[in-house]
Chains A and B, each alone.
Chain A
C-alpha cells in the first residue's frame, strides 16, 4: 500500500490550500504546480510499474492453468489499485485546479447574463407610421415595421439563475430607442419553481404566455424578421401576462403538457382595469413526439378568455371603445425533420398556427363626443404557415404565408362608415428569407415581403438584419 501515501499527502495539501488561498501569490501557485508535477511523475512511474506487473501476472496466468485463478485475482487486484491511484491523482488534480480557478468573493454567484444585439436596414414602399391591419380592431401594440433605412432593433438583456433550491429567477429587458428617447421595456421578470412534485411547475411574475407555438419565443429566435400577421392582429404582437402560470407534464412516453394561466389582462385583448382579481385566463395543451429517428412534431390547442372594459382604439382620428367578452382559440403545429435526427447539415421546419376570435359586447363610437353605443359582434380569424429549410450547413431559406379574415362583423346600430378600420377586409402577406449563421451565436438575414395589411395598398418590404448573441446563451426550446 506504499502508493497510497502521495495521495494522502496531496489531499492534505489540497485541504490546507484554501486556508492560504486569499494570500496565494503566483509564486505559491507555481510551487504547488511544481509539486503536483513531481507527484504526477511519481504516479505515472508507479502506474507503469503496476501495468507491467499486471501484464506479467496475466502472462503467467495464461501459461499455467493451475495458477490461473490465483493470478487472475492478483491481476484484478493490481488493476483495481491502478484505477485507485489514477482516480486519486484525478481527485487531487481537480482539487488543486478548483482552488486555482475558483472565482473570488461575491462574483462567484453571478447569474448567467446574455445580451442580444439586433440591427436592421429596412426598405419600405409605404410610411411605417401609417401601418395598420384593416378589418381588425387595433391592438395598440407595436406591430408596424421598423423605420426606413438603418435602425437599431431591440437589444435584449437577460439574466437568469437559480435563486435557491426551490426557485429559479429570470429577467429579460429590451432596450430600444423611440424618437431619440431611450426606452427600457420589461419583457419578462418571473420566478419559477424547481422542485414541485409530480411534474408540476409554477411560474409567477411577467412571462410570455404558453399559448400557441411562437408566443413564447423571443424575437431573436424567430425564423423571420417580424412576427406573423396573426400574432400582430390578435395579440399585438404577443400575449405577455402579469400573473401566474401552472404547467403539468404527464408521465407518459407521448409528450403531453397542460397549462393554465391567470393574469391581470391589462393588455390586448384585455384592457386596463381597476378591479381586484384577474382579467385574463388561458388554458393550453400540447402533445408531441417523434416519428422514427428523423422527425419530431408537436401540436397544441389553446384558449384565451378575457372581459375587457372600455378597451379603447383610435380610428380615423376618433376614439372608440369596446366592452364585452373576448374569446380566442389557437391551434398550432410544428414539425421538424432532419436525416437521422442530425440537423447539422440539412433540416426542415414546418410550422403553422390558426387563430379564431369571438368578441361580443358593446361598442362606443366617439367616446369623447357623441358616445353612440350599440351592441356589436366580431368574428375574425387568421393563420400563417411557414417552412424553413437548411440546405447546407449554416444556410437556410424560408417562406411564409399570412392570411387574415375580418369575418362577420355586426356593428348593430352604428354606421359602418364611421368605423372604416372595421370594414370587411382580408389582409395578406407573403414573405421569403435567406439567412446565414456562421455559428449558433450569430445570424445574418435577408428578408423580402409583400404586405397587404392595408386595404388597397401593397407594401413591398426588404430587410437586412443581424442578430448576435453575447455571453451565456441559454439553450433554445423546441
Chain B
C-alpha cells in the first residue's frame, strides 16, 4: 500500500515536471548589481531574479528555500565570485538539482573572473578575519568594471540563447554607449574627490577609491568581518589627529554605530553610500547608483 502511494505521488510529480517553462531566459543574479546589468542588456528577453537586496550584508546570506526554488528553474546564474557567496551559493546550487547552472557549465558566470581583483591577500589565515583568497570581491563600485562584466554577460547570454543574439548585442551596444558617456560625466564631476583621504567601515570600496583616486587610510573594522571594538576605534581617533581624513564611508547595509561614533568625535561627515542598486531611494538602477554615489561623496566634502 505504501509503495503504491509513492508511485501515485511520483506520477503527479512527473506531470508537474512536464509542464512547459516560460519562454524568457531565467537569470538568477546573486546580488542586485548583476540583476540590474542583465536587465540593461537583455531587457524583456530575460526574466531576472535578484537573490539579495542592497540592505542585506552580502557576506551573510542564507540558503533560503525561495532561493533554491529560483535556482531550480534558472538557465543562468551570475555571481560575483571571489568567494563572496561562499556561505550560501554552493548549497543553493547543489540543492536545486539543476545541472545547467553548476560551476564550470555555461549557465554559471562569475563576474570577478572578468576583472582584475585588488587586495589579493599575500597570506591566508583566518586569524586575519574574513579574507577572500581571490581578492576583494566588491568589484561593482568601479563602473569601469561593469563594462567588462557586461561584455562577458552578453557573450554568455548569446551562447545560451542564440535566437536572441541580436537583441543582446544591441542591448550591450546601447548600454556601453550610455555607460561610456556617463563615465566621462562622473569622472568630471568627481574631480574634487581625487586624493581625498577617507576611512571606510569595511573594505567595501577599494575599487571606488581606485577609480576616483580616494585615499583609503584604513577600515573601522579591525579585520574584515570583525565588529569594531571601542579600543580599535579609539586608535583610529588618534590616527585621525595625526593624518586627518575628510570622510567616513560605509555601505547602506552596515550597522551605523561605529561610523557615527567616530564621526561625532572626529567631527567627520559619515557618507552612507548605496553600495549597490537599491541601496537608497535614489539608486534605482546602475546609472542612478553612480549618480547618487558621486552626489553623496561631493555633498560630504562640503
Instruction: Please tell me if B158 contacts chain A, counting CB pairs below 8 Å.
Output: no
Tell me, yes or no, whether A281 is within 8 Å of chain B by CB: yes
For chain B residues 75-126, which have a beta carbon within 8 Å of chain A? 86-91, 94-99, 102, 114-116, 126
Residue in B2, B69, B89 with the greatest tally of chain A CB atoms within 10 Å: B69
Q: Which of B52, B64, B184 contacts A296 (CB 8 A)?
A: B64
Cα–Cα, bound, A10→B94 (Å): 38
Q: Which range holds the interface residue count of chain B?
A: 35 or more
Could you tell me which residues of chain B, from 176 to 191, have a CB within 8 Å of some CB in chain A? Answer: 176-177, 180, 184
Identify which of B9-17, B38-46, B192-200, B212-220 touches chain A: B9-17
A131: Cβ under 8 A from any B Cβ? no
What separation, in Å, do the CA atoms of A382 and B64 have in the docked complex? 27
Which of B27-35, B53-61, B263-271, B285-293 has 4 or more CB atoms under 8 Å from chain A? B53-61
Name the A residues within 8 Å of B165 (CB-CB): none
Chain A interface, >50% SS class: mixed
| Cross-chain contact B95 with A249 (CB below 8 angstroms) | yes
How far is B151's CA from A415's CA once the two chains are assembled, in angstroms? 80
Contact among B55, B90, B99 with A195 in the assembled complex (CB-CB below 8 Å) = B99
Bound together, the chains give a CA A154 to CA B108 distance in angstroms of: 37
B295 CB within 8 Å of chain A: no
Q: Is B167 an interface residue (CB 8 A)?
A: no
- B227 part of interface (Cβ distance < 8 Å): yes
Q: Which residues of A contact B65 (CB under 8 A)?
A: 255, 286-289, 296-298, 478
Residues of A near B211 (CB, < 8 A) are none
Min CB–CB distance B220 → chain A (angstroms): 14
Contact (Cβ within 8 A) A252 B69: yes
Chain A neighbourhood of B261, CB < 8 A: none
Q: Which of B17, B60, B86, B97 has the most CB of A within 10 A?
A: B97
A contact residues around B13 at 8 Å (CB) = 248, 250, 258
Given A289-B65, A289-B66, A341-B56, is A251 in contact with B102 using a C-beta cutoff of 8 Å?
no
Roughly how many angstroms separate A192 CA and B60 CA in the complex, as a whole number?
27
Mask: chain A, 235-262; 1 = CB below 8 Å from B; 0 = not: 0000000000001111111111110100
Contacts of B94 in A (CB 8 A): 168, 192
Contact mask A297-331 → B, CB, 8 Å, 1/0?
11000000100000000000000000000000000
The reply to whether A478 and B73 form a contact with Cβ atoms under 8 Å apart is: no
Chain B min CB distance to A342 (Å) = 5
Q: Which residues of A contact B116 (CB under 8 A)?
A: 89-90, 93-94
Do B253 and A475 have beta carbons less than 8 Å apart? no
Give the distance to chain B from A220, nearest Cβ to Cβ, in Å. 15
Closest chain B CB from A277 CB (angstroms):
12
Residues of B within 8 A of A58 (CB): 184
In the complex, per-residue mask of A155-176: 1 if CB is within 8 Å of any chain B CB, else 0: 0000000000000100000000
For B91, the chain A residues whose CB sits under 8 A away are: 474-477
Contact A283 B6 (CB under 8 A): yes
Interface string of B127-168 (1 = CB under 8 A from A): 001100000000000000001100100000000000000000
The answer to whether A83 has its CB under 8 Å from any CB of chain B is: yes
Q: Is A189 an interface residue (CB 8 A)?
A: no
Q: What A residues does B227 contact at CB under 8 A?
A: 393-394
Which residue of the partner chain A has the closest CB to B55? Answer: A340
Measured between alpha carbons, how far is A79 from B187 in the docked complex, in Å?
A: 15
Contacts of B60 in A (CB 8 A): 342-344
Within residues 422 to 478 of chain A, which ones have a CB less than 8 A from any CB in chain B?
A: 438-441, 474-478
Contact B97 A247 (CB under 8 A): yes
Closest Cβ–Cβ distance, residue B6 to chain A (whole Å): 6
Is B97 touching A196 in the complex (CB atoms < 8 A)?
yes
Enumerate chain B residues within 8 angstroms of A288, measured Cβ to Cβ. Answer: 64-66, 69
- Contact A293 B16, CB 8 Å, known A249-B72, A250-B72: no
Which of chain A's residues has its CB closest to B54's CB? A340
Given the complex, which residues of A lie within 8 Å of B59, measured CB to CB?
A: 344
Q: Which residues of B contact A94 (CB under 8 A)?
A: 116
State A56–B45 Cα separation when bound (angstroms): 37
> With A288-B65, A439-B226 given, is the CB distance from A250 to B16 under 8 Å?
yes
With A200-B97, A296-B62, A343-B57 already in contact, 7 other A-B pairs whose C-beta atoms are closer than 8 Å: A197-B99, A250-B69, A255-B69, A256-B69, A283-B6, A293-B55, A343-B62
> Can you give 18 A-B contacts (C-beta < 8 A)?
A55-B184, A76-B176, A87-B114, A198-B17, A200-B97, A250-B69, A252-B69, A253-B69, A258-B13, A281-B2, A281-B3, A283-B9, A288-B69, A290-B64, A344-B59, A345-B255, A394-B227, A438-B226
- Shortest 10 CB-CB contacts between residues of A and residues of B: A288-B65, A255-B65, A255-B69, A195-B99, A340-B55, A199-B97, A344-B57, A251-B73, A475-B91, A296-B64
